[in-house]
Amino acid sequence: MNTPILVTGGTGTIGRHVVRLLGEAGRDVRVLTRHPRASTVGVQHVAGDTVRGTGLAEALAGVETVLHLAGGAKGDDVAAGNLVRAAREAGARHLVLISVIGAGEMPIGYFRMKRAAEQEFERSGIPFSILRVAQLHDFVLPVARTMARMPLAPAPRGLRFEPVSVEEVAARLVEVALGEPAGRVPDLAGPEVLDIAELIRTFAEAQGRRRRLVRFAIPGAVGRAYRAGANLAGPAALRGRRTWREFLAERDGARDRAAARG
Ligand SMILES: NC(=O)c1ccc[n+]([C@@H]2O[C@H](COP(=O)([O-])OP(=O)(O)OC[C@H]3O[C@@H](n4cnc5c(N)ncnc54)[C@H](OP(=O)(O)O)[C@@H]3O)[C@@H](O)[C@H]2O)c1
């Protein structure tokens, strides 16, 4: 029995890996979710909603470390404020936040919201760590798939991603959470900077197809920011190892194995 670590978003794409890794590290985990399910050995589910601010006191009871991974298209700033206030009440000692590379720089609502969430943590008065990460392979995949579906695939000029492996992000989050509070830690991005054209081409090739691309410029401030690489990690970032091609190959391999099993 040890002090449980609270993971908001523990049911999500990243959170599921984090919960597993914390368990493997011998830590008890409490997951805050809007859709609680039966608890298992070492993993307790607690009903709550970070945006509505419900269930937070119950989830935080007896907790020292909080990994805040819950997020959506809207309300992450509000959620961070709610969580910080409840964590202060509960006497939490280490708040860990996942954020996104470009949070302070990209002129897009999602990135601004992520920066506002960071600021809630920075002003919380509770020791904190913030890890900004690049887009996951799993996030870039539907973008490439959608564009590759079109006979003339739209490929905005200067749009680049640094896709990173979900397992590597989860492992780093666990490392940060089990360490001392460190403020803003180095960003984590994937091993390569890939133009959207390259992402579409490699995805289509993995499907045994070829795609013609149409290049165009994203207009306005958003286009300028992407072309300037405001969504990309700087030289101080940590880099994951798994490449986009490796991700696609593993995914296709897993699908083939599932098909062979029937
Ligand atoms: N995916 C990426 O490429 C990427 C890159 C950088 C940063 N991030 C950030 O990393 C975090 C996790 O991303 P992900 O891809 O794992 O997300 P995801 O798969 O969409 O999962 C979202 C998680 O957030 C929880 N959640 C959403 N709204 C909630 C609310 N109001 N109250 C409580 N829980 C709520 C969901 O839990 P229930 O549905 O069980 O309630 C779920 O566990 C997000 O903050 C995201 O912005 C993601």
Identify which of 173, 130, 238 has the alpha carbon closest to the alpha carbon of residue 18: 173
Residue range 22-52, pLDDT digits in tens: 999 999 999 999 998 998 999 999 999 999 9
List, as own/partner pairs, every contact residues 148-151 make where C-beta atoms lie below 8 angstroms and the sequence separation is at least 24, other chains included.
Answer: 148/200, 148/203, 148/204, 148/207, 148/209, 148/211, 151/211, 151/212
Centre of ligand 1 to C-alpha 71, Å, is 4
Q: Which residue has the higher pLDDT, 66 or 210?
A: 66
pTM: 0.96
Residue 79 · residue 50 · CB < 8 Å: yes
Domains, the chain, with CATH or none = 5-261 (3.40.50.720)
Residue 200 · residue 144 · CB < 8 Å: yes
List pocket residues of ligand 1, CB cut-off 6 Å: 8-9, 11-15, 32-35, 49-51, 69-72, 79, 98, 100, 133, 135-136, 139
Centre of ligand 1 to C-alpha 73, Å, is 9
Rounded percentage of the chain residues whose pLDDT exceeds 90: 89
Residues in CB range of 222: below 8 A, 6 or more apart: 106, 107, 108
Model confidence band, residue 151 (pLDDT cutoffs 50, 70, 90): confident
Average pLDDT on 78-89 reads: 98
Model confidence band, residue 183 (pLDDT cutoffs 50, 70, 90): very high
Atom of ligand 1 minimally distant from the CA of 133: 6
